[in-house]
Structure 1
Amino acid sequence: MFNLEDKTALVTGGNGGIGLGMARGLAQAGARVVIAARNSEKSTAAVEALRALGSDSFALAADVSDEASVQRLVDEAAERCGRLDILVNNAGTTVRKPVDQLALSEWHQVMDTNLTSAFLCCRAAYPHLRKAGGGKIINIGSMMSIFGAPYAPAYGASKGGIVQLTRAMAASWAPDNIQVNAVLPGWIRTELTDGARVQVQGLEDRVNTRTPAGRWGRPEDLAGIAVFLASPASDFVTGTAIPVDGGYSIAA
């Protein structure tokens, strides 16, 4: 039910943080994982880690906010592997400023990296998934898809958009046996949140206090949900947005 042998997964931003945590889970379940990212040094290290788990993995460089680059990425991944079964849209960034201090260029930077990239990757992957007889798309949203923060207007808007894009594609592509779901991570220790702990005073303790699990998440905490949503176990699950946050979003 959770076996991903002979499946090919493309993970954007998969060379670190949540992306690598998910990629590890997919690799352990038997998938060949293709890492898409711009930092070649990190990608090389990520591929070595996945190969150590037995996955015939490799990395491709891409700018996921560029239409032509995305098309080349998806087509090359499918061609080299002979198929494409799973797409994880994880690439993301943020600019921590309130609306009145946010430049238009910064707004576009966040929206293009977080939301437009998912649209481009999904659109490029669709014919390959359909050719394979169906597939799985996992879009990475955020707890900011649920509620707002004064320092993350662009990030929150992009992640809210991820949920709505997920629902639209789930409804559209269900007849093609393509399930599309979103994962909403909470506070996970990554390079992205390292900056938040520095910039947002008292964040470390507030997260620990509010989270019922009593700790920050780790990238490996996302491995299980990735395998579930990528496997036959979730064949009747589509259009959902699943928090993985240790209970942070349900706490009073």
Structure 2
Amino acid sequence: MAGKAVLVTGGASGLGAALCHMLSSCGADVVVGDLNLDKAQTVASLLAQTSGKTHAIGFNVGDPVAAERAIDETIERFGKLDVLINNAGTDITCPIEELDYADWDRVIRTNLYGPFLLSKYAAQHMKKQRSGQIVNIASTAAKRAWPNASAYHASKWGLLGLSHALHAELRPHNIKVTAVIAGGMRTPFLLDRFPDIDVSTLQDPANVARAVKSVLMLPEQTVIPEVMVLPMQETSWP
């Protein structure tokens, strides 16, 4: 990973922050992208103290102009883009009859439309350099369903389909695309919304970050289109 330029969305907390620390410690130049610029800058400053080059960008992944600008800014900063990790995500938990358009749109725009936009612009650059990797952070919610999460399931099932479609489309251009189906993690994404959750059934996000790192460090001749990373006591998967 030494010297590779990596953009991580949702990089200011949870799995995103774990990914930024993990890849930076391996020598990568990491761009911390997040909706909250202040938090992104905090993570970037921590990386700068212990590792290599880093940069923070505050932007909404679902905004077409902002998404394109984030890719351009990464390339301007580090001269290239080797790895895009579509990690930013959001959720709304409520029955379908209570789910309003604004919340549906926010979830789909962040979890599905954002990865589409960023992959679209990243692929344009990666095709020119004849190399690159795109990692889409999905969820067990892309494989099965539970009540009161229709928007989240729709976005993650869609993201898994998008990821496999991009794997087929971009593979001839020497661009690897991988979907990472992550089981429950001890992150604010779950803990802030479900304070009564049994944390013993969740995994450390650093463990998922290690799995992503292993995917990124495979030999050039090998690609993994999909990988599932579960805690040993996973409750959302048999």
- TM > 0.5: yes
**Contact preservation (8 Å) 2:178, 2:225:** yes
Pairing of 1:80-99 with structure 2 (within 5 A)? 80-99=77-96
**Contact preservation (8 Å) 1:24, 1:223:** no
Q: In the alignment, does 2:129 pair up with 1:136?
A: no
Q: TM-score, normalised by structure 1?
A: 0.88
Q: How many residues align?
A: 237
In 2: Cα distance, 1:220 partner to 1:12 partner: 16
**Contact preservation (8 Å) 1:26, 1:226:** no
In 2: Cα distance, 1:171 partner to 1:73 partner: 25
CA separation of 1:232 and 1:41: change in aligned 2, threshold 3 A: same
Q: In the alignment, does 2:125 pair up with 1:125?
A: no
Deviations 1:208-249 (A, max 9, x none): 4xxxxxx41122112211212222447412422x22122427
Q: Does 36-45 or 69-78 show the bigger shift?
A: 36-45
CA separation of 1:163 and 1:234: change in aligned 2, threshold 3 A: farther
**Contact preservation (8 Å) 1:143, 1:249:** no
Deviations 1:112-165 (A, max 9, x none): 010000000000101211223211100010111111111211111111111100
Candidates 40, 52, 55, aligned match of 2:52: 55
Identity %: 32
Q: In the alignment, does 2:94 pair up with 1:109?
A: no
Q: TM-score, normalised by structure 2?
A: 0.93
RMSD: 1.8
In 1: Cα distance, 2:220 partner to 2:19 partner: 16
In 1: Cα distance, 2:235 partner to 2:155 partner: 18
Structure 1 residue 44, shift from structure 2 partner: 1.7
Q: In the alignment, does 2:17 pair up with 1:20?
A: yes
Structure with the bigger RCO (C-alpha within 8 Å, sep 6+) is 1
Unmatched runs of 5 consecutive residues or more in structure 1: 209-214
**Contact preservation (8 Å) 1:94, 1:110:** yes
Q: In the alignment, does 2:229 pair up with 1:231?
A: no
Q: In the alignment, does 2:170 pair up with 1:170?
A: no
Deviations 1:163-194 (A, max 9, x none): 10010000000011111011111111111102
Pairing of 1:211-226 with structure 2 (within 5 A)? 215-226=201-212
